[in-house]
Amino acid sequence: MMPLSYRSPKTEVRESKIHGHGLFATADIAKDEVVAVKGGHIVDRKTLREQITPRLGPVEIQIDDDLFIALVTDDERELSMLYSNHSCNANLGVRGEITFVAMRNVRAGEELTHDWAMTDDDDYSVECQCGAPNCRKILTGKDWQRPELQKRYAGYFSAYLARKIAMRCHSERSEESHNRRSDHTEKLV
Ligand SMILES: [Zn+2]
């Protein structure tokens, strides 16, 4: 059967220390090279929560506020899974919403990981055992709002999150200038 997703020929799936199976580089990968593209069916949150996650576990990538790309039957697991584990010290970022690229040069043998903060806007809170020295220990669906992650992953957030981040910065800035204006008015009074 034709795969639903794309994984670079420079990758392989094997056992991971982080969790179950992971995606590994079999050759050096240059910064910004495409590593994987997620394919599957487009479903909303209700369908995901009620029909997919209970049967298949976490098999989706969030691509907008209420849209996810996921496999929907067990037969599609091998065809759709990218096997990229979460790491708090990720080396993959997102281009657009379904394309995963190297955020830095990656050496052959390294596990390829992305950070859920780059794709997720949700209300979960789960323990992280990724083992990275900078592990956040608790991952939440709102980690994209953390300033240090916005800085670290600038240019590598899913496009729909990048837009939210830009809008928040914009509204914070206009609030600041509004406050400055009111200070000024008070001084005049
Ligand atoms: Zn972690």
Distance 11 CA to ligand 1 centre (A): 22
In a domain, 159, yes or no: yes
In a domain, 39, yes or no: yes
Domain assignment of residue 134, given as a range:
6-188
Rounded to the nearest 5 percent, the helix, strand and coil shares of the chain are 30, 25, 40
In a domain, 1, yes or no: no
In a domain, 55, yes or no: yes
Q: pLDDT tens across 46-102, in order?
A: 999 999 999 999 899 999 999 999 999 999 999 999 999 999 999 999 999 999 999
In a domain, 167, yes or no: yes
Q: pLDDT tens across 23-35, in order?
A: 999 999 999 999 9
State the CATH number of the domain containing residue 129.
Answer: 2.170.270.10
Distance 64 CA to ligand 1 centre (A): 23
Mean pLDDT for all residues in the chain = 93
User: What's the domain count of the chain?
Assistant: 1
AA identity, residue 30: A
Distance 36 CA to ligand 1 centre (A): 21
In a domain, 132, yes or no: yes
Buried b (16+ CB within 10 A) or exposed e, 129-148: ebebeeebeebbbebbeeee
CA distance 113 to 186: 52
**pTM score above 0.75:** yes
- Other C-beta atoms closer than 10 Å to the C-beta of 3 total 12
Q: What is the pLDDT at residue 36?
A: 98
In a domain, 175, yes or no: yes
In a domain, 127, yes or no: yes
* Residue listed under structure tokens 């995901």: 48
